Structure 1
Amino acid sequence: MASKKPNAKAATVKAQKVTYIYTKLALPYAQTLLRLWDKGLMIDNRPDAENALKTIGYFRLLIYMRHFQSNTAPRNFYPRSKFSSIVALYNFDREIRLLTLNAIEKLEVALRTAIINPLAELHTPHWYLDMSHFDDEIKYHGVIGKIIQGAGKEGHTKRGLAMIHYYDKYHSPVLPPIWLVCEKLSFGVLSRFFEALRIDRRRIVGRYIWSYPEHLLVSWFHSLANLRNICAHQDRLWNNPITGFPPATHKTYSIDFTNPTSFYSRAVVIQLLMRELGLNGWWRDSLLALLASCAHVDPRKHLGFPGGWNTRPVWT
């Protein structure tokens, strides 16, 4: 059977994709507000609106404006839409990012301590220099490379008094003890450090604080490190699927992991990890209060929270 010949016409159309010259201009605040007014947006407090455009920016607010606009050209605003409502929605997204960062910071500190204490007590403060504690050579050298980058002697005078003290006083070992090293590693690197350990070492580290299987902890720490970066770089949590590093499902709470791209599934991971830090009630109550604080937020549609989520077993 002869192979089908390529569609020359389709190939030509693809090759001749039409592009345009960008001609949009940056406008002063007053003109921007006038354009929004012409599209039906109520400018209910002009000084506050101008200050928001000045300090937040039109482009950053634009994605929140879409919630109040028609999907069809010319994208007029729905009746009674207010500029203050757009800012309120933006502020909600900002507050949930800050709350999430606050929670992840607590978990990051706990993971750092779990990597430091038990293996240093069982072995030495420089146990990480022994490759036998790691899963394979490639992962080991990857970890050591990050450690040298964050805690190596070169540039140590810019890394704090503790690092200066170590390199000024000691010539061996060539790198500082694990507690000083871990203080210089990001959450993302810590999560990869944890994954790189031999499985029996991961179990020792994980069980120092948590009761979950090590494979779940590997997945959850990667997922939260990705979430932390989203929050730290002011990306959206509101109405924005999270496609990177979906958290592995806990069998007991499988119903809470049915939407792996949702913020909710990651909020559940935080809740499960917080439980054994004694902070699960703080996280649940903070979310409840925040979700109720903005009338323009639909927790189910915009963040993946199911109805009655706070009464489910994972949250009690």
Structure 2
Amino acid sequence: MVKHWLSYDEQITLLQERGLNVADTASAAEFLSRVNYYRLSGYFRYWQVDPMAGNNRFLDGSSFEDIQRLYEAEQDLVAVCDEVLHPIEVLLRTRFAYYYAQRVGTIGTFARGDGFTQSPDPNDERVEEHALANLDRSKETFVSHYRDELKTGNAYSIDAYARMPIWVAVEAFSFGSLSRLIEASSKSGVLHDMAASMNVSPTTLPSQVRSFVYLRNRNAHCAKLWNHAVLDRPGLLPNIVRRVKRNHRQFSDHSIYKIFVALDQVATKTGLQHDWLANRVEPILATHPLLAAGIATPARYGEMSTQLLTTDH
């Protein structure tokens, strides 16, 4: 189907023709000038009759303002996420460099892969390759200061990082690369030292860090959190799950909320925040039950309660 350019006013008209109630067309058009129609289409589909089959008619009682409020409440939640995601990431970089230097080595050892458990498959990429690729691409002055111009072809050789301390290198690793290194550091004792210093379980920490990377990347790319089923689920001890479900709300295993629980646990145990989940997340969810449902128990198109979708929120 050929897609035609539509002005913001024409986009509103199209939504109205499909049965969406728009109380203030001027305000709605202004909102679409800030938030792409296509971005909102991922939310619209929950209010449409059967979008997968091409039926884009909206359910009776569907309101543009309800969808806008949902989106804006979700953005409030994203902002609250950064309050813990950023300091936790910095803490993880700090603790990894500290204990890796203590346990394995300070200068250049990471580039050789010392202290990391590698895949038994010789065809798999070595763990440290992800971190080295970050360093190769980096244009930071502190990286070039410690990186020698030793190359194999167009790529820097391992020896190019023979002078680089781990506490310097760790600041140039992506969060994803750091996560891989932490997970591969169990046998060397680095993972266990990190977990002990953070007062968290070494068995759940690697999956929790992966989930933090997952959430951070979705937020960085402005991706939808509402009704999103998480791929990288964090591990949680059973007593923590029971306590949160008793004190706050039920949540599914693949929910964004489960990552929030893990963030709260790590932030509390490390002293970065106190009761972040209760004090910062729950007030937003408590005032928006539609947002809360999609964050705690994500559903596919057609699976959410019509009453929940069309009630004035």
For the residues of structure 2 that align with 1:191 and 1:241, how far apart are their CA atoms?
A: 21
For the residues of structure 2 that align with 1:262 and 1:137, how far apart are their CA atoms?
A: 29
1:212-246 residue CA offsets vs partner (Å, 9 max, x unmatched):
1x22111111122122222222221112222x122
Q: How has the CA–CA distance of structure 1 residues 247 and 29 changed in structure 2, closer, same or farther, with 3 Å as cutoff?
A: same
Deviates more, 1:246-255 or 1:106-115: 246-255
Q: How has the CA–CA distance of structure 1 residues 291 and 258 changed in structure 2, closer, same or farther, with 3 Å as cutoff?
A: closer
Q: Which amino acid aligns with 2:5?
A: A
Partner of 1:148: 132
Q: How has the CA–CA distance of structure 1 residues 74 and 167 changed in structure 2, closer, same or farther, with 3 Å as cutoff?
A: closer
Give the SS at the match of 2:290.
coil
Give runs of aligned pairs for residues 47-62 of structure 1, distance below 5 A. Answer: 47-62=26-41
Q: How has the CA–CA distance of structure 1 residues 27 and 151 changed in structure 2, closer, same or farther, with 3 Å as cutoff?
A: same
Q: How has the CA–CA distance of structure 1 residues 97 and 298 changed in structure 2, closer, same or farther, with 3 Å as cutoff?
A: closer
Q: Which amino acid aligns with 1:76?
A: F
Q: Which amino acid aligns with 1:239?
A: N
Deviates more, 1:229-238 or 1:26-35: 26-35
Partner of 1:205: 194
1:267-301 residue CA offsets vs partner (Å, 9 max, x unmatched):
1111111111221323431102221343x6252x3
Q: Which amino acid aligns with 2:212?
A: L
Q: 1:246 aligns with which of 233, 236, 244?
A: 233
Q: Which amino acid aligns with 1:238?
A: W
Partner of 1:96: 77
1:285 aligns with 2:291: no
1:34-81 residue CA offsets vs partner (Å, 9 max, x unmatched):
2222344333333322222222121111232344444595623433x4
Structure 2, unpaired ranges of 5+: 149-158, 298-313
Deviates more, 1:139-148 or 1:175-184: 139-148
Give the SS at the match of 1:103.
helix
1:163 aligns with 2:155: no
Partner of 2:151: none
Partner of 2:92: 111
For the residues of structure 2 that align with 1:119 and 1:138, how far apart are their CA atoms?
A: 22
TM-score by length of 2: 0.75
Partner of 1:14: none
Partner of 1:10: none
Q: Which amino acid aligns with 1:114?
A: R
Q: 1:176 aligns with which of 164, 168, 182?
A: 164
**In the comparison of the two structures, how many residue pairs are matched?**
274
Give the SS at the match of 1:280.
coil
1:117-176 residue CA offsets vs partner (Å, 9 max, x unmatched):
133245542243464422237699623322322224xx65x22x32243348xx986252
Query: In 2, are the aligned partners of 1:114 and 1:206 still within 8 Å (CA)?
Result: no
Q: Which amino acid aligns with 1:285?
A: N
Q: How has the CA–CA distance of structure 1 residues 182 and 102 changed in structure 2, closer, same or farther, with 3 Å as cutoff?
A: same
Give the SS at the match of 2:260.
helix
Shift of 1:101: 3.5
For the residues of structure 2 that align with 1:251 and 1:76, how far apart are their CA atoms?
A: 41
For the residues of structure 1 that align with 2:113 and 2:294, how far apart are their CA atoms?
A: 45
For the residues of structure 2 that align with 1:198 and 1:280, how far apart are their CA atoms?
A: 28
Task: Considering fraction of residues, name the structure with more helix.
Answer: 1
TM-score by length of 1: 0.74
Shift of 1:189: 0.9
Query: In 1, are the aligned partners of 2:22 and 2:28 still within 8 Å (CA)?
Result: yes
For the residues of structure 2 that align with 1:34 and 1:110, how far apart are their CA atoms?
A: 49
Q: How has the CA–CA distance of structure 1 residues 262 and 172 changed in structure 2, closer, same or farther, with 3 Å as cutoff?
A: closer
Partner of 1:304: 296
For the residues of structure 1 that align with 2:290 and 2:178, how far apart are their CA atoms?
A: 34
Which has the higher relative contact order, 1 or 2, with Cα contacts under 8 A spaced 6 or more apart?
A: 2
Q: How has the CA–CA distance of structure 1 residues 137 and 288 changed in structure 2, closer, same or farther, with 3 Å as cutoff?
A: closer
Partner of 2:10: 31
Q: Which amino acid aligns with 1:190?
A: L
Give runs of aligned pairs for residues 185-204 of structure 1, distance below 5 A. Answer: 185-199=173-187, 200-204=189-193
- Structure of greater Rg: 1
